[in-house]
Amino acid sequence: MTINERQDELIEDFELFDEWESKYEYIIDLGKQFPPLEEQYKTEENIIKGCQSKVWLHAYMQDNKLMFEADSDAIIVRGLVSMLVKVLSGHTPEEIAKSDLYFMERIGLHQHLAQTRSNGLASMLKQMKAYAIAYQAVNN
Amino acid sequence: MQTIQTDLNIEAIRSDFPILSEVVNGKPLVYFDNAATTQKPRAVLDALNGYYEHYNANIHRGIHHLAEKATSAFEASRRRIQEYINARQHEEIIFTYGTTDGINLVAQTYGRAFLKEGDEIIISTMEHHSNIVPWQMLCEEKGCILRVIPINDAGELLMDEYEKMLSERTKFVSVVHVSNSLGTINPVAEIIEKAHQVGARVLIDGAQATSHLHIDVQALDCDFFTFSLHKMYGPTGIGALYGKRELLEAMPPFRGGGEMIKEVTFERSTYNDLPYKFEAGTPNIADVVASKYALDYVASLGKDAIGTYEHDLLTYATDALQSIDGLRIIGTAREKISVVSFVIDGVHHQDTGVLLDQQGIAIRTGHHCTQPLMRRFGIPGTSRASFAVYNTTEEIDRLVQGLYKVKKMLG
């Protein structure tokens, strides 16, 4: 599945919910189901500090694809993080670097990306792209 | 649930604040982030507009009608603040950008001029970062030593420990009057008296105190007192620093520029008299002017009536929140203003904040710019509800119901 196909799939999932409760219950569920990051990767280097919650991001290359694993100490952020990982992980650095993420806005969750300091999510997305650009440079 | 008896007409007060009729995420706004900033009554909004519509002009030097009117209004605010905190003279009131700016001013002028290597500066565990970092910067530059008064588990200063810390090496004490994270009211009169016994100067960070408590800087005998108008129904970007005249006279200026000078040549400049010596550049005229209307508004309701009502809200909220399973209040001092900080077992404060926001309820979550205090309690942060005179018990009921929903959704 391409990055955009994965985004469209998420948008479709969220179309089922017309109330904030069900939408957030789904995000909380995603957060609960998301496999925790192995402790060895919860390093100071991998931490993206938000003002309120912590986000950890671990990146590595596998078969020319850039893979992401991540975690957060807050459950809603964890759910949001799982969506970013689902959309971007497992694609080539080129695809990730030039990707345009529109699903958060379409789902009506863009405020979580805007609050840079409070949840580290925007910084995480920036970091994912930075990894992609860095690995792209290594590959070339 | 019972309601609170008060002589205040809360409904009428609410209608003075246009923003309280906002709808957030489809629900009527419940605003419980008053310790961060209070909302502004119409009188303040009208004063801001009125200034720009009718007498916007630069102050103090113009001789035309508008300049004179603006200058009079600006100086009337200074005198109103003088009266509000009972300073001896209006020259002892310096306008700043806010509490943080006031602390930096004292650290960078009094501190740099009069503190030297080995001198000790005392702060407390419950200080806001704005009353920690300016002193750390000074310590780094001058080789002073920063000492910290510990607290007990209720969030009260350990006064015996404070007394033990005091010595002839103590040159400055800078403590918060009321904790923004816990709501604790500190015994500042006693702190000041003890510090003066060893010859130390004292600054009181009054940011959270001025909208809730009577402030009398002469009775307190503090050397400096600093606060922000936006936390007491006034505009943002404006604060005041009170300093004893003899100290302000002895201190070097802070920023250089226009207004703060008497005469400038390329060889040297002489400085203006108080308070202008510390007010370089064109000040925030509109917000200073409107500040007077905020203080008048508070006075029209009556400080005692506000204090009593807010205390009743605190009691009501404390009882109601404690009924929630797994909720623990952080900050249980005997003397508190209307701030309730809490943690819920197994629930991250950010999740609490996000889910309450979906229900139209604005609280603050996080470390509240008091990271060392959070470390003392061994927690990353809290959820904090802080009440102002326009809040109601019905709103507290909505918070409690909202928290039950949060627990259910995250459970």
Task: Pull the structure tokens for residue A44.
Answer: 């100071």
**What are the residue ranges spanned by the domains of chain B?**
10-31+302-410, 46-299
Q: Looking at A35-49, B166-180, B328-342, which range is the least confident one?
A: A35-49
Fold of B10-31+302-410: Aspartate Aminotransferase, domain 1 (3.90.1150)
Instruction: Please provide residue B45's backbone torsions phi and psi, each rounded to the nearest 5 degrees.
Output: -60, -40
Catalytic option among A2, A38, A51, A110? A51
Q: Average pLDDT of B141-157?
A: 98
Touching check for B370 and chain A: CB below 8 Å?
no
Give residue B374's pLDDT.
Answer: 96
CATH topology assigned to domain B46-299: Aspartate Aminotransferase; domain 2 (3.40.640)
Residues A38 and B216: their CA atoms lie apart, in Å, by 57
Which of B349, B355, B410 is facing A52, going by the closest CB pair? B349
In this prediction, the answer to ipTM > 0.85 reads yes
The reply to whether B369 belongs to the active site is: yes
* Residue of A23, A71, A75, A119 to mutate, interface with B, max B Cβ within 10 Å: A75
Residues in CB range of B288: below 8 A, 6 or more apart: B74, B77, B78, B95, B238
CA distance A27 to A77: 9
Check residue A116 and give its pLDDT.
56
How many Cβ atoms from other residues are within 10 Å of residue B141's Cβ?
13
Neighbours of B64 (CB within 10 A): 8
Torsion of the alpha carbons at B328, B333, B337 and B343, rounded to the nearest 10: -20
Nearest CA to A81 out of A50, A39, A51 is that of: A50
* Cα(A128)–Cα(A133) distance, integer angstroms: 9
Taking the C-alpha atoms of residue A12 and residue B12, their distance in angstroms, rounded to an integer, is 47
Interchain contact B371–A (C-beta under 8 A): no
Is A106's pLDDT higher than 70? Answer: yes
- Per-residue pLDDT band for B1 (boundaries 50, 70, 90) equals very low
Interhelix angle B99-106/B133-142, rounded to 10 degrees, is 20
Helix (H/G/I), strand (E/B), else coil: A3: helix
Which residue does chain B place closest to A115, by CA atoms? B354
Cβ atoms of B97 and B120 closer than 8 Å = no
Structure tokens at B251: 């201190």
What's the average model confidence in pLDDT over B49-76? 95
Predicted local confidence at residue A109, as pLDDT? 87
Average pLDDT, chain B: 97
Kindly report the number of other CB atoms within 10 A of residue B26's CB atom: 10
Helix (H) / strand (E) containing B398: helix B393-410
The fraction of chain B above a pLDDT of 90, given in percent, is 97
Residue B365: its chain A contacts at CB < 8 A?
A: 52
- Closest of B190, B202, B49, B230 to residue B121, by C-alpha: B202
SS3 call for A66:
strand
The interaxial angle of helices A20-33 and B349-358, nearest 10 deg, is 160
B10-31+302-410 and B46-299: same fold? no
* Residue B266: Cβ within 10 Å count: 5
Name the residue with tokens 């003397």: B335
Task: Decide if B360 touches A, using CB distance below 8 A.
Answer: no
Residue of B228, B9, B264 lying closest to B99 (CA atoms):
B228
Q: At A120, is the pLDDT very low, low, confident or very high (cuts 50, 70, 90)?
A: confident
The reported pLDDT for the residue numbered B187 is: 98
Judging by DSSP bridges, how do beta strands B361-362 and B30-31 pair with one another? parallel
At B259 the pLDDT is 87
Banded model confidence at residue B23, pLDDT cuts 50, 70, 90: very high
Of B177, B145, B148, nearest in space to B161 by CA: B148
Q: Which secondary-structure segment (H or E) carries B170?
A: strand B170-176
Q: Dig out the tokens for B411 from the structure.
A: 């459970």
B396 pLDDT tier (thresholds 50, 70, 90): very high
- The minimal CB distance from A76 to the residues B25, B351, B380 is found for B351
Contact indicator for A88, A68 with CB cutoff of 8 Å: yes
Per-residue model confidence (pLDDT) at position A139 = 72
Domain boundaries, chain A: 3-139
- The domain A3-139 having CATH identifier 3.90.1010.10: the answer here is yes
Q: How far are the Cα atoms of B111, B174, B326, B359 from residue B411, in angstroms, in the given order?
A: 51, 43, 12, 18
Distance CA B356, CA B398 (A): 10
**Quick one: pLDDT at residue A115?**
63
What Å distances lie between residue B97 and B55, B136, B241, B278, B296, CA to CA?
22, 21, 10, 12, 21
Q: What is the mean pLDDT of residues B226-235?
A: 98
Instruction: Return the structure tokens found at B79.
Output: 């005198």
Q: What is the nearest CA distance from B145 to chain A, expressed in angstroms?
A: 29
- Chain A residues near any Cβ of chain B (below 8 Å): 20-21, 24-25, 28, 51-53, 73-77, 112, 118-119
Q: Letter for the amino acid at A119?
A: N
